[in-house]
């Protein structure tokens, strides 16, 4: 399969890595092309998700995208709001967010994580109107990383920066600090 030809990867879907004892459910917007082709979450060459997990202390050893099936060993699960892979989020349609939310909400209700870690401010902004009905946040309105006041079926929401190499909104140090805040919160339980 080649990442250049959408016919090769556009129908691929990643396997959720969620077990009944999940404490933290990591949620991405949707898989990138390389993730779809490899069959593993956050497999992009410039993605720092796995490095951040280890350096923040969320996992006790360095693991990579090929180890995503091990996340339940540490009490974590991983899924995406939208299952369809794409080269970027600009390729996603608004209806996909709404449909994806319905599926994600069912997963949260079924597995009952303590925390839902939304990976990316964009993801939080996208589902915020679906959580409560006010107007969405203006595009330039700042979103604080970390714990949020909203809950989904009792699960607390925690916003992490998107670890993609394309994310120029946060430095690596800021990303690491957010992941460390999550690690501290999970240890406090």
In a domain, 99, yes or no: yes
- The answer to whether residue 1 sits within a structural domain is no
The string of pLDDT tens digits covering residues 51-105 is 999 999 999 999 999 999 999 999 999 999 999 999 888 899 989 999 999 999 9
CB count, 10 Å around CB of 149?
7
Total Cβ atoms within 10 A of residue 187: 9
Question: With contact defined as beta carbons under 8 Å apart, do 161 and 170 qualify?
Answer: yes
pTM summary value: 0.91
Yes or no: say if 116 and 155 are a contact pair by the CB < 8 Å rule. Answer: yes
**Residue 16 domain flag:** yes
Write out the H or E segment, with its range, that includes residue 130: helix 121-131
Backbone angles phi, psi at 28, to 5 degrees: -95, 170
| CA 53/CA 84 separation, integer angstroms | 24
Query: What amino acid positions are annotated as catalytic residues?
Result: 30, 41
| pLDDT tens-place string over residues 5-64 | 656 788 889 999 999 999 999 999 999 999 999 999 999 998 999 999 999 999 999 999
Under the banding of pLDDT at 50, 70 and 90, the label for residue 166 is confident
- What's the total number of domains in the chain? 1
What is the span of the domain harbouring residue 109? 6-187
Would 41 be classed as within a structural domain?
A: yes
Inside any domain, residue 158: yes
CATH code of the domain in which 182 resides: 3.40.470.10
- Other residues' Cβ atoms within 10 Å of the Cβ of residue 135: 7
Q: How many CB atoms lie within 10 A of CB 92?
A: 17
Query: How high is the pLDDT of residue 135?
Result: 55
Structure-block tokens of residue 107: 């997963």
Q: Is there a domain that residue 164 lies in?
A: yes
Q: Hey, what's the torsion of the CAs at 64, 91, 176, 71, to 10 degrees?
A: -40
Task: For residue 103, count other CB atoms closer than 10 A to its CB.
Answer: 14
Question: Are the beta carbons of 154 and 112 closer than 8 angstroms?
Answer: yes
């Amino acid at each position: 399969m080649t990442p250049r030809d959408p016919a090769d990867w556009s129908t691929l879907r990643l396997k959720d890595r969620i077990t009944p004892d999940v404490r933290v459910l990591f949620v991405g917007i949707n898989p990138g092309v390389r993730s779809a082709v490899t069959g593993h979450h956050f497999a992009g060459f410039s993605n720092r998700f796995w490095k951040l997990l280890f350096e923040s202390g969320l996992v006790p050893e360095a693991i990579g995208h090929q180890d995503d099936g091990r996340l339940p060993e540490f009490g974590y699960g991983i899924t995406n709001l939208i299952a369809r892979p794409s080269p970027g989020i600009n390729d996603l349609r608004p209806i996909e967010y709404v449909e994806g939310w319905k599926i994600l909400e069912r997963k949260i209700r079924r597995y009952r994580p303590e925390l839902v870690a939304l990976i990316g401010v964009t993801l939080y902004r996208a589902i915020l109107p679906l959580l409560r009905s006010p107007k969405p946040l203006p595009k330039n309105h700042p979103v604080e990383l970390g714990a949020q006041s909203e809950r989904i079926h009792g699960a607390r929401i925690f916003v992490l920066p998107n670890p993609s190499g394309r994310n120029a909104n946060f430095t690596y140090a800021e990303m690491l600090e957010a992941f460390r805040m999550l690690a501290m919160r999970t240890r406090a339980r």
